[in-house]
Structures are given as C-alpha cells and as structure tokens.
Amino acid sequence: MPAKPSAPAAPAGKATERTGAQIIVDTLIDLGVDTMFGYLGGVVLPLFDRLYDAPIRFIIPRHEQGGCHMADAYARATGKVGVVVATSGPGACNLVTGLATAMMDSTPMVALTGQVRTELIGNDAFQEADTTGITRPITKYNSIVKDVRDLERTIREAFHIASTGRPGPVLIDVPVDVEVSKLRGDGRRAELELPGYRIRTKGHARQLSMAAEAINKSERPVLYVGGGVISANAAEELRTLAEKAHVPVTTTLLGLGSYDQRKPESLDMLGMHGSAYANYAVQECDLLIAVGARFDDRVTGKLATFAPHARTVHIDVDPSSISKNVHVDIPVVGDARYILAELAKEVEHRQRQEWFDKIAEWKKKFPFRYDRDAETIKPQYVIEEVCRQTNNDAIVATGVGQHQMWSAQFYKFTKPRQFISSGGLGTMGFGLPAAIGAQIAMPDATVLDIDGDHSFNMTMTELATAVQYELPVKVCIMNNGYMGMVRQWQELFYGRRYSCSYLTNPDYARVAEALGAVGITVEKKEDVPRAVERMLAETKPCVADFRVEPQENVWPMVPAGKSLDEMDGLDILERLI
C-alpha cells in the first residue's frame, strides 16, 4: 500500500488572510494544475475573479458538457487529472453526461461546481440543484464543502482519489459563501482524511507465481488487455511480457494503443465488432490473461459460453472488478505496471507454433475488409487513408456509432493514449470536444476527430472553441445521413423499418466556414487522398465532410446475447477476397 499522502506544509507567505476562492486557486497551482476547462455563472464569479491573473490556462467551451469532455480527453491524453468548473444549477446539470462518460471509462477528473449560499440550500434558491445528489452515482466520490477550513484538504483529497487506484471523476461542490469567506492561516489541513480508501498495488506474491506458472504451462494463451494498462502506463511492461512469453495480444476498444497493432502478436480488438481472429482465439484459448479489462458485455457476448476452454487470470487494481461478470481462477489485485513487470521475470519463452499457425490461418481468412472496388466512398477507405497519411501516429477521438467501430478496426494504433473514445457510456458528441481537449494537452500532435454526422451534430458548436483557441483539430465526418449504427440494427433486427434514423444535415463545410474554421466537402472517391492531404496541412481547425456510402455495415458483428464465435458478416467478408 502506498504511503498515505499528507497535505504539504503551507508555502511561505500563506499565513495571511485568503478567501475560499483564493485557496482553491492556490491549491490547484500547488497540485500542478496548469490547464482548466469550464464555464462561468453567478456563484463561481469569485473563483473566476481569482483565476483572472493566475498562471492557469483556462479554456471556455460553448457548453459545460463540451468542457467536461475536454477535461476528460485532456486527462486521457496525458494521464494527468482533468479539471472542469461549472456554476450551480444548470451549469452543474450540464456536467452530468460528461461525468458519467468519465466514470464509465475510469478517467481521472476533478469537477468543481459552485453552489448557492449555504443557508439557502434546500430552499429552491435561484439556480439551486442538488449537485452532489445528482452526481453521486456518476462520480467516484463527491462532497460539498460547507466550511472554508475544509476546502484545501477536500481539494487535495479529490485529486488523490481521482488519480489513484481505479481512476475516476470526483466532484467538489462549493457554496458561494465558502468561496468568499476569509481564512487566516491554513485551516484544518492535517492528513488527508480517507479512512477505508486503500489501494493495493503489488498483488499477492502467491497469486503472481500461480499466474506465471499458468502462463508457462499454457499451450494456447491469450492476453486480453484493457484501458487499465493505459491508465497504469504499463504498455512497455506489456510488450516485454508478451514478447518474452510469446503470447498473442487482443485489446478492448479502450485498450487500443496499449500494444502496437503492427506487431505479429497483435490480434487487434476483440468483441462485438472485434476481429474474427481475436474472437476465435478467445473462444479456443486454454488460458485467458485479462489485464486492466472489465469483461464488458460488448466484449464477452453470451457469458455462459465465453472462453469456454480457458482458465482465467485477472489482473486489476479494483477488487470489485474481479469475478464480477466472469469467474476468475487466478485473481491478482494490483497495479498492472507492477504486476506485468513481476510476471515478465517469471515467465519462460515458448514457441507455441501450432497456436500461432492457427491464428495466422484465421487472420488470413477473415481480415477486416471492405469493398475496395466500390464506386462510392467507403468510410473504411477514408480511415485507412487517414491512417496512412498520418503514419499511424495521430491522436484519434471519435463520436459513437459505426464510424467509431471502423476507426477501431481500420486505424492501426501504435502507442497508448492515441485513441480517445467513449466506450462504456457510448456518448455521441464526445468526439469534437475530446479532440479539443487532446489538442490542448498535445499542441504538437496531429489530432483528429473521426465523427459521425449525428454525433457531430450534438456538440459541433465547440468548433467555435477550437477557432478561438487556434487549435488545428481535424474533423473527418463520415457523413452517411443516417444514425448509421441505429440504421444497421434496424436493418438486421427490425426488418429494415428505418424508423426516425434519418435526419437532414446542414452543409458542414459552410457551417465550419461560418464559425471561422476551414470546410471541405468530399463527394468522389478519387478526391479522398487529396482532401485528406489538404485537411492535414491546414493550420486552422478543419472540417472535412466525407459523403460516404449510406448503407455500409460494420462487420463482423456478434449479435447481442450471442457467443463470441457466432459472428454475422463473415460470409460477406469472405466474399470480398
């Protein structure tokens, strides 16, 4: 267990009188915060006044949801805690989707919300909402500070909780009277008060040995790797283990980038829209080594028939994740980085020729494919072209839907923190603000938002934010006119009754131009490479509207409730040879 952190001694000169708002700003700076996102309102004006000349870069979105996704993506791109601010009532309520998104995907974030005066709480005061009540189930922890003496410690606790163990969003609600009340000295600083909050990082030595022994004995092992390996910064340790023991690696949607997909051991993504070779390998393996992955139903399909021949090792920092959905034979509770490094010391190299030959056959028979000869623009083609022209090196954010799955299938990721997507909540509208947050974090990187038209519609107003802060984000809209993923389900499971899944879209290039960005419309297949080149060369935010084939489907697909090896679309993929 790591040493319990304590609040550091007060910096010199702080024995003077400070307001709550000043304490917030001083504490954030002391915690290393240099960038924040958020929106103004009456009860946070004291805080914004103190931020006016603070050495913190403040990004104002056009909607609090956008700001929350920006802070989330900033955290995903850097591993640091993302910080978002909102006013009471409507401001705080607008954070709900963003907090739930971060909670589902275990992103370290701190949200600071203003609240009405302490004595008015519960009185239906102007712009009052029960923020802690509303956000309790969608935060790792939340609290309201009613005494300025508790403010600094509570903020320090929030950062500690958000960033340790299984990361997650923490919300601190601060009534405006606490922001303006004055405190001489440092308040009730002492130790962080977190009884019951214990993180196990090292794992049990015996369990570790059992896991290593199981790997050494296995003829057909598979590493099933999730977002936990990325949050643990354990990609290097994963590579060492996989190469040393010679074990194929499949990742979840959120684990993409934790293992270089160009390597021969990579099986790409598994699950509902994962590769056939990953899904078959999981169904036939004799040992499944899950690392920082949570056996989501999009991954397992029908639980009763998931990995039926496998013993299961599960490495996870959160004990409540273990045996939650799938029985685990060898649990190892601890930090993925430490555990993978320890395991690598104990495993032996084995050739496993038969196993790798079988996988090679599946890979040859069922690669991700699409009709390259089609006359229309296939979305997969655009994504492949974007991947080629960015040398597999861009940061890719997405919305939710078919384009998200094609991004996961056709952009080959090589490093962690490169793919930023809402997996657990599946939040349409995440893409553009996420790209903005990532671009703020990584000013020199090429940052793309590969988006669906309807996902983009939800938060496209944030293009104005990208313009204001001169962020060269590139938005590639896979414009099929439909809510494509919904249309696919209606085609396959609702007798092609396309109820309400088609909407009229604006001319996105003109919308982009009106907001001060660059707009490109691409209607012909032969124009795709040049359009991508132009988009990548733009120094302003750029929206490229690719008018893609409207009826394209994502294959393979494990229909909900089916086993992982009962994939639809394999015949279609085979015919495309």
Ligand X SMILES: Cc1cc2nc3c(=O)[nH]c(=O)nc-3n(C[C@H](O)[C@H](O)[C@H](O)COP(=O)(O)OP(=O)(O)OC[C@H]3O[C@@H](n4cnc5c(N)ncnc54)[C@H](O)[C@@H]3O)c2cc1C
Which residues bind to ligand X, rule: CB under 6 A? Answer: 105-106, 166, 226-228, 231-232, 252-255, 269-274, 292-294, 296, 298-299, 316-318, 321, 335-336, 400, 404-405, 423-424, 426, 485
Judged by CB under 6 A, the residue of 282, 485, 522, 531 near ligand TPP is 485
35 vs 106, which CB is nearer to ligand X? 106
Tokens read off for 577: 């040879």
398 vs 563, which CB is nearer to ligand TPP? 398
Q: Is 547 helix (H, G, I), strand (E, B) or coil?
A: strand
Site string for ligand TPP, 411-430 (x = CB under 6 A): ---------------xxxx-
Q: Cα(140)–Cα(8) distance, rounded to whole angstroms?
A: 24
58 vs 502, which CB is nearer to ligand TPP? 502
Count of other CB atoms within 10 angstroms of residue 539: 8
- DSSP secondary structure code for residue 505 in this structure: P
Check residue 400 for interaction with ligand TPP (CB under 6 A).
yes
Q: Which one of ligand X, ligand TPP, none is in contact with 564 (Cβ closer than 5 to 8 A by kind)?
A: none
Check residue 220 for interaction with ligand TPP (CB under 6 A).
no
Supply the DSSP string of 223-292, one letter for each residue. Answer: EEE-HHHHHTT-HHHHHHHHHHHT--EEE-TTTTTSS-TTSTTEEEE-STTS-HHHHHHHHH-SEEEEES
User: Which region, judged by CB under 6 A, interacts with ligand TPP, from 37-45, 432-440, 479-487, 522-530?
Assistant: 479-487
Element at 57 (helix H, strand E): strand 57-59
| Nearest distance from C-beta of residue 267 to ligand TPP, angstroms | 24
Tokens read off for 458: 């939800």
| Nearest distance from C-beta of residue 399 to ligand TPP, angstroms | 5
User: Which region, judged by CB under 6 A, interacts with ligand TPP, from 33-41, 258-266, 286-294, 453-461?
Assistant: 453-461
Angle between helices 20-30 and 151-163 (to 10 degrees): 40
Q: Cα(399)–Cα(458) distance, rounded to whole angstroms?
A: 10
Check residue 486 for interaction with ligand TPP (CB under 6 A).
yes
Q: CA distances (Å), 259 to each of 64, 212, 290, 366, 536, in order?
A: 34, 20, 14, 21, 25
Check residue 65 for interaction with ligand TPP (CB under 6 A).
no
Count of other CB atoms within 10 angstroms of residue 31: 17
Q: Tell me the longest C-alpha to C-alpha distance in the chain.
A: 76
306 vs 555, which CB is nearer to ligand TPP? 555
Q: Which one of ligand TPP, ligand X, none is in contact with 433 (Cβ closer than 5 to 8 A by kind)?
A: none
292 vs 379, which CB is nearer to ligand X? 292
| Nearest distance from C-beta of residue 395 to ligand X, angstroms | 17
Q: Cα(62)–Cα(464) distance, rounded to whole angstroms?
A: 8
162 vs 428, which CB is nearer to ligand TPP? 428
Q: Which one of ligand X, ligand TPP, none is in contact with 378 (Cβ closer than 5 to 8 A by kind)?
A: none
Tokens read off for 107: 């992103």
Q: State the alpha helices, DSSP H only, in 319-392.
A: 336-346, 353-365, 379-389
Check residue 482 for interaction with ligand TPP (CB under 6 A).
yes
Q: Which one of ligand X, ligand TPP, none is in contact with 519 (Cβ closer than 5 to 8 A by kind)?
A: none
Check residue 35 for interaction with ligand TPP (CB under 6 A).
no
Q: Which one of ligand TPP, ligand X, none is in contact with 226 (Cβ closer than 5 to 8 A by kind)?
A: ligand X
Tokens read off for 564: 């992982």
Tokens read off for 27: 């504490």
Check residue 455 for interaction with ligand TPP (CB under 6 A).
yes
Residue nearest to ligand TPP (CB): 452
Q: Cα(56)–Cα(338) distance, rounded to whole angstroms?
A: 33
Q: Cα(227)–Cα(223) distance, rounded to whole angstroms?
A: 13
**Buried/exposed 476-513: b ≥16 CB within 10 Å, e otherwise:** bbbbbbbbbbbbbebbeeeeeeeeebeeebeebbebbe
Q: Which one of ligand X, ligand TPP, none is in contact with 313 (Cβ closer than 5 to 8 A by kind)?
A: none
Q: Cα(240)–Cα(221) distance, rounded to whole angstroms?
A: 16
| Nearest distance from C-beta of residue 138 to ligand X, angstroms | 14
Kindly compute the dihedral angle of the four CA atoms of residues 169, 175, 177, 181, in this order, to the nearest 10 degrees.
-20
Q: Is 271 left (phi over 0), alpha (psi -120 to 50) or beta?
A: left
User: Which region, judged by CB under 6 A, interacts with ligand TPP, from 77-85, 243-251, 389-397, 477-485?
Assistant: 477-485
Check residue 408 for interaction with ligand TPP (CB under 6 A).
no
Judged by CB under 6 A, the residue of 66, 89, 401, 424 near ligand TPP is 401
| Nearest distance from C-beta of residue 256 to ligand TPP, angstroms | 17
Which amino acid would we find at residue 537?
A
User: Which region, judged by CB under 6 A, interacts with ligand TPP, from 158-166, 241-249, 401-409, 434-442?
Assistant: 401-409
Check residue 107 for interaction with ligand TPP (CB under 6 A).
no
| Nearest distance from C-beta of residue 306 to ligand TPP, angstroms | 24
Contacts of 388 (CB under 8 A, 6+ apart): none
Q: Which one of ligand TPP, ligand X, none is in contact with 453 (Cβ closer than 5 to 8 A by kind)?
A: ligand TPP
Burial of 467 (0-12, 13-18, 19+ CB in 10 A): middle
Contacts of 133 (CB under 8 A, 6+ apart): none
Check residue 183 for interaction with ligand TPP (CB under 6 A).
no
| Nearest distance from C-beta of residue 410 to ligand TPP, angstroms | 13
| Nearest distance from C-beta of residue 327 to ligand TPP, angstroms | 30
Q: Which one of ligand X, ligand TPP, none is in contact with 466 (Cβ closer than 5 to 8 A by kind)?
A: none
Q: Cα(433)–Cα(459) distance, rounded to whole angstroms?
A: 7
Q: Which one of ligand X, ligand TPP, none is in contact with 486 (Cβ closer than 5 to 8 A by kind)?
A: ligand TPP
Judged by CB under 6 A, the residue of 140, 314, 352, 454 near ligand TPP is 454
Q: Are 380 and 408 in contact (CB under 8 A)?
A: no
Check residue 403 for interaction with ligand TPP (CB under 6 A).
yes
Check residue 76 for interaction with ligand TPP (CB under 6 A).
no
Judged by CB under 6 A, the residue of 173, 453, 545, 549 near ligand TPP is 453
Positions touching ligand TPP (CB under 6 A) are 399-403, 426-429, 452-455, 478, 480, 482-486
